[in-house]
Chain A
Amino acid sequence: MSETTTVSNKSVWTPFNLVAGIIVAIGLVLTVLRFTGGLAAVTNLSDDNPWGIWIGFDLLCGVALAAGGYVTSAAVYIFGLKRFHSAVRPAILTGFLGYALVVFALHYDVGRPWRLPYPFVVQQGTTSLLFEVGACVALYLTVLFIEFTPAALEWLGLKRARNLVVKLTMLLTIFGVVLSTLHQSSLGALYLIAPSKLHPLWYSTYLPVYFFVSSIIAGLSMVLFESTLSHHYFGDKLDEAHKRESLGVTLGFGKAASLVLAGYFIIKVIGMATANTWHYLNSGYGAWFLVEMLGFVALPCFLYAVGVRDRNVKLIRYTAAWTVLGIVVNRFNVSLVAFNWHLPSSQRYFPHWMEIMISVFIVTVGILVFRFIVTRMPILYEHPEYHGH
């Protein structure tokens, strides 16, 4: 008993917990400031720049990087790739937490957050893309929650409820794929309304397609990245099946990511050809566009391929982290860097440090909740009572 107490006391005061604790404490203070002083108290947002990093990072990156849920469950349950089954629960959990944090972050970003459910009740019409995004995110968050519940129900020992939810797996997976296809592309379509504001190298009538295809890349890479971290930090939680399937998951997802990246590169070039924006490459924005296209699309595409050919797990995992960064770069470029590109720098938006800190706080909350769940519920291992079910 005393030993247990000593161990738990030791584990509480780790450097990670201390840093996380400080971030959460600062985040809570900033939260009070945000909800008592309004957006102006903690942000550099204005009527000219109403969308900042809470949209560019928390929402656009959050939704894209949470795509692992629908990508993995579609691969396993719809395409029948059962050898990736061990990746489903971690991917669903990452997806669920990702979307939950998106909605959490929206409460900070939306001027009157208590009106978030309004689109379902009070609205001017259903033709708005934002309505579609709002509806899909709300529905998909519900779907992800239900998909996640078997792990929680197994942990709570509620066998009958768990078996009932498991029977809904295929239905939920189909819902998930449909809803994700809709809103991942709609997030890109939001920018179709601003052809004069978004730099021509990033603006394209194919933006919805770009966002959807890149979300598949983000989902695959995020599963690999999350799996790397889980192996490192929660290695003791992994059961034999997860360890055995790990190599196959890494090689399979790496191969898929490489192929989708190649396709994404092609459709981006085709987009440039149809809009005839080649001459913009010969500018500062063009150089940055090339960094994105060559450094964060073509390079990981090649590295994934080399990793798969050589069965180099380490290379694939590093490439996954690089690709996740690339997705963040892409979403930042569309929503911030290349947005309002013609304005002088004095009129451009740059986030306030408190905006950045709140985003860091939200990510930290996500990591803490992920750790809480993974260390308690059967996410990285099969519950012994439900083995093979």
Chain B
Amino acid sequence: MGIKRERALFMESTFFTLQDFMTFTKGVTYILMVVALIGITGFWLFLSGRDEDDAVDPHPPEHHG
């Protein structure tokens, strides 16, 4: 069972040419980069979401009446 699992894991990462390896890893990296860029934008919004609440409003709304 253990040997089979190891073989399966080994086979998963077996590449016969550098071209295969680069195509696979670059493909995964590009997908992850898209996810990361969207993710970090969302994270920044989460991180600084309440900044505006704390800041002093330079143009407070005018009170009428």
Among B12, B25, B40, point to the contact of A274 (Cβ < 8 A): B25
A276 to B32, CA, bound (A): 13
Residues of A within 8 A of B12 (CB): 279
Interface string of B20-37 (1 = CB under 8 A from A): 010011101100110010
Interface string of A256-271 (1 = CB under 8 A from B): 0011001100100110
Q: Cβ of A305 and Cβ of B46 under 8 Å apart?
A: yes
Interface status of B55 (Cβ within 8 A of chain A) = no
Residues of B within 8 A of A262 (CB): 40, 43
Q: Cβ of B36 and Cβ of A266 under 8 Å apart?
A: yes
Interface status of B47 (Cβ within 8 A of chain A) = yes
A262 to B54, CA, bound (A): 23
Residues of A within 8 A of B24 (CB): 276
Residues of B within 8 A of A276 (CB): 13, 21, 24-25, 28
Among B26, B29, B40, B47, point to the contact of A255 (Cβ < 8 A): B47
Residues of A within 8 A of B43 (CB): 259, 262, 305
Residues of B within 8 A of A275 (CB): 25
Count of interface residues, chain A, beta-carbon cutoff 8 Å: 19
Interface string of A324-341 (1 = CB under 8 A from B): 000000000000000000
Residues of A within 8 A of B21 (CB): 276
Which A234-276 residues sit within 8 Å CB-CB of chain B? 255, 258-259, 262-263, 266, 269-270, 273-276
A278 to B25, CA, bound (A): 11
Interface status of A282 (Cβ within 8 A of chain B) = yes
Residues of A within 8 A of B26 (CB): 274
Interface string of A270-307 (1 = CB under 8 A from B): 10011110110010000000000000000000000100
8 pairs from A and B in contact (CB 8 Å cutoff): A262-B43, A266-B36, A269-B32, A274-B25, A274-B26, A274-B29, A279-B10, A279-B12
Which residues from chain B sit less than 8 Å from chain A, CB to CB?
A: 9-10, 12-13, 21, 24-26, 28-29, 32-33, 36, 39-40, 43-44, 46-50, 54
Closest 7 CB pairs of A and B: A266-B36, A279-B9, A273-B29, A273-B28, A305-B47, A276-B25, A309-B50
Add 19 more A-B contacts to A275-B25, A305-B46, A311-B54 (CB < 8 A): A258-B47, A259-B43, A259-B47, A262-B40, A262-B43, A266-B39, A266-B40, A270-B29, A273-B29, A274-B25, A274-B26, A276-B13, A276-B25, A279-B10, A282-B9, A305-B43, A305-B47, A308-B47, A309-B47
